[in-house]
Copies of this chain bind each other. A is one copy, B any other.
């Protein structure tokens, strides 16, 4: 039904997206059984391998659990993300089939205090730009992010338009350097009044707090960002394995 074999994307991703849409629309409730692999073969006219890959993708993202002999069941409609590799928040939202959005909330020129100066590797008092944005997935508020940008080091940043969706792409376009690596801390915090309002939560409700410093090629910090995530709409996911050398 409605699959394209030309340029829309892979078949399994189209099947995956169709299922995800069913989940998001509310047709399926938590615990409900999804179509079996055989059902998908019939409904979409694809092979079992393709149908299976779509269901496996849903599982990998934590949306469903699969029980041998029983079926595939909706577990939880949360957004989940894999930390194992560096992806911009925009890429994470996109890769899960949602339409990423952003709303510029504030934009203030300022000067670096000790904390920000250390993170951005600039002198205290150096010019920085503070940008607060509300990030959305399919129009729903997912997180608030406060970005601190070294506008002293990269003057191009002062003129940029921060109502765009992806800051990573903005960095690449305006200063011609690609995002390369990042480090981050993940913790929990109580929502302040302003964050709570943006995320449609109560003040002091728990939020997931991510502090990230991002580097572009040349190992230069380009952004220090603190993000507050709606805990019911977003969880970080990752997979861990033994580091080489200790494996058995």
Binding site for B on A (CB under 8 A): 20, 23-24, 60-63, 65, 67, 80-87, 114-115, 118, 178-190, 205-209, 217, 229, 231, 234-245, 247-248
Q: Are A85 and B85 in contact (CB under 8 A)?
A: no
Q: Are A85 and B24 in contact (CB under 8 A)?
A: no
Q: Are B62 and A84 in contact (CB under 8 A)?
A: yes
Total identical chains: 2
Q: Are A187 and B236 in contact (CB under 8 A)?
A: yes
Q: Are B248 and A217 in contact (CB under 8 A)?
A: yes
Q: Contacts A24-B245, A118-B65, A185-B237 hold; do A190 and B217 have CB atoms under 8 A apart? A: no
Cα distance, A241 to B18, chains bound together (Å) = 16
A-B interface, 5 closest residue pairs, ranked by CB to CB distance from nearest: A206-B206, A85-B243, A86-B240, A187-B235, A188-B231
**Cβ–Cβ < 8 Å partners of A86 in chain B:** 240-243
16 A-B contact pairs sorted by A residue (CB < 8 Å): A61-B241, A83-B85, A86-B243, A87-B243, A179-B242, A181-B239, A181-B242, A183-B238, A184-B237, A184-B239, A186-B236, A187-B234, A187-B235, A188-B231, A205-B206, A206-B206
Most buried by B among A61, A181, A182, A241: A241
Q: Are A180 and B236 in contact (CB under 8 A)?
A: no
**Cβ–Cβ < 8 Å partners of A60 in chain B:** 239
Q: Contacts A60-B239, A84-B238, A240-B83 hold; do A189 and B217 have CB atoms under 8 A apart? A: no
Cα distance, A180 to B76, chains bound together (Å) = 14
Q: Are A84 and B239 in contact (CB under 8 A)?
A: yes
Q: State how many angstroms separate the Cβ of A141 from the closest Cβ of chain B.
A: 15
Known A86-B242, A217-B248; 18 more pairs at CB < 8 Å: A24-B245, A61-B239, A61-B241, A82-B181, A83-B84, A84-B238, A85-B242, A179-B242, A180-B242, A180-B247, A183-B238, A183-B240, A185-B237, A186-B237, A187-B208, A187-B235, A189-B231, A206-B206
